[in-house]
Amino acid sequence: MRTKKEPFLKRNWVQSLLASLFCVVLGLLIGYIVLLFINPAGAWDAITTVMKNFFTYPNPTVANKYFGSTLVKTAPLLMCALSIQFAYKVGLFNIGAAGQYVAGAGACLYMALALNLPWWLCLLGSMAAGALLGAISGLLKSYCNVNEVISGIMLNWIGLYTVNMVLTNVKESTSPYTYQVASFNASALLPSLGLGKLFSNNQYVTIAVPLAVIMAVVIKIVLDKSMFGYELKATGYNKSAAKYCGMKEKRNIILTLVISGALAGMGASLLYLTGYEQWQCTQSSVPAMGFNGIAATFLGGLDPIGTVVASYFIQHITSGGAYVDKTMYSSQISDLICALIIYLCGFVLFLKYFLNSRLAKREEKAAVRAAALAAETQPEAPTEVQPEAPAEVQPEAPAETPPDTPADEDSHGKGGEA
């Protein structure tokens, strides 16, 4: 811990929050500009619709119900975000979360519809399926030096085609969609425990939502407070040093991707076992959930609790996109905003650096001014900065980001094995 109390703006979480807000505002602004280009007439309406989401319904009961639906889709997004975050803290960029999510969806739907298993077995099955894909990435990474991003992308597509093939066995004969879980095997539905009643009887609100939040807390505790988490993070910072200290660095990499995969796979069952959505067996692109998870995790400042908020926000605008006036715009405008936010998140470190150097400069000026004041005998000393700064005056705080910023170390230590 730092011994001295730091100024408000220098605290790490304040900076993360400011950076995230900056990304959101700029992302929305650019989204608005794009809308203006497409059709200036309805642009303002459209961007407020995206931000309002369920508030567009004037009736509070209906709005409450759709708030519930947004939460239903937040749960899987949060799980994907946690999956990416867990791996990122260990220095791995698990873009395969999208495919692990797909594998989880395939496993839970197949177990629910073809094998008629109860929900908790389906949930475990989806975690196992996600973990399996994660393990493949992990093995390739630790034993064959294959970049986890590239193997992740390949596995995304392999997973998608496999799941399409497997779920074709349990699809409705007249449509490309799988059977309804609710009518086919009600025991596979996640229990609601009366949570749906809180949201105007929205039957899709189940224990999935609190479960996802609990997982966020668990991840936070594991990463920050446990020896296991410490070992994993140490492996992420410096693989060779971790090995030198007697940690099994290969095992740690595989284990990280297995856990990460299990989280993403579980996310899928938190959505598909509510019956909210059916799988489309002719799907030709990997679901966006895993990729939006990237946005949520970076927007959440790489902190599980921040990610809960960020996931909700991302899902809020994604759902909001469905309400824009389709005669002028497309609902993908919210995907565009999400993508912009991820892009802008790349600049977060730069922003923090910029903010810190500005703060340091300001402190330096203040110190110079104080010294000048002290040196002057007259009380009405000019406030101008003296051209020759006294050499002994030192700014009190270092100009760099505090070394305990995890993201800082990651970005410098990553890469080099593509």
Partner 1 sequence: MLLLIQYTLIFASVLVLVALGGCFSEHSGVINLGLEGIMVIGALGGAMAMKYISPDVPAIVMILAVICCSVLLGMLYASLLAVACINCKADQTIVGTALNILATAAATVIVKAVNTAENPDNVSSTVQYVSAKRAFLVNIGGFEFNWFMLVAVLALIAAAVTLYRTRFGLRLMACGEHPQAADSVGINVYKMRWAGVLISGMLGGLGGIVYITAGVSEWKFENGVAGFGFLALAVMIFGQWKPGRIALAALLFGLFRALSNVYAGFSFLTALNIPSSIYNMMPYIISLVVLAFTSKKSRAPKAEGIPYDKGQR
Binding footprint of partner 1 on the chain (CB under 8 A) = 34, 38-39, 93, 95, 140, 144-147, 149-151, 153-158, 161-162, 164-165, 284-285, 288, 291, 294, 298, 326-330, 332-333, 335-336, 338-340, 342-343, 345-347, 349-350, 410-412, 414-418
Q: Which is nearer to partner 1, 264 or 342 (CB)?
A: 342
Query: Shortest Cβ distance from residue 160 to partner 1 (Å)?
Result: 9
Q: Which is nearer to partner 1, 34 or 234 (CB)?
A: 34
Tokens 């705080």 -> residue: 397
- Given a contact cutoff of 8 angstroms between Cβ atoms, the answer to whether 330 and 318 are in contact is no
Q: Which is nearer to partner 1, 156 or 274 (CB)?
A: 156
Cβ atoms within 10 A of the Cβ of 311, count?
Answer: 30
Q: Which is nearer to partner 1, 6 or 325 (CB)?
A: 325
Query: Shortest Cβ distance from residue 168 to partner 1 (Å)?
Result: 9
- Given a contact cutoff of 8 angstroms between Cβ atoms, the answer to whether 239 and 247 are in contact is no
Q: Which is nearer to partner 1, 182 or 336 (CB)?
A: 336
Query: Shortest Cβ distance from residue 39 to partner 1 (Å)?
Result: 8
- Given a contact cutoff of 8 angstroms between Cβ atoms, the answer to whether 314 and 338 are in contact is yes
Q: Distance (Å, rounded) from C-alpha 331 to C-alpha 324?
A: 6
- Exposure pattern of 225-235 as b/e (b: 16+ CB <10 Å)? eeeebebbbbb
Cβ atoms within 10 A of the Cβ of 301, count?
Answer: 21
Query: Shortest Cβ distance from residue 327 to partner 1 (Å)?
Result: 5
* Angle, in degrees to the nearest 10, between helices 12-38 and 304-321: 10
Q: Which is nearer to partner 1, 39 or 116 (CB)?
A: 39
- Count of alpha carbons within 13 Å of 138, Cβ hemisphere only? 25
Q: Distance (Å, rounded) from C-alpha 195 to C-alpha 205?
A: 6
Q: Distance (Å, rounded) from C-alpha 47 to C-alpha 45?
A: 6
Query: Shortest Cβ distance from residue 337 to partner 1 (Å)?
Result: 8
Query: Shortest Cβ distance from residue 330 to partner 1 (Å)?
Result: 4
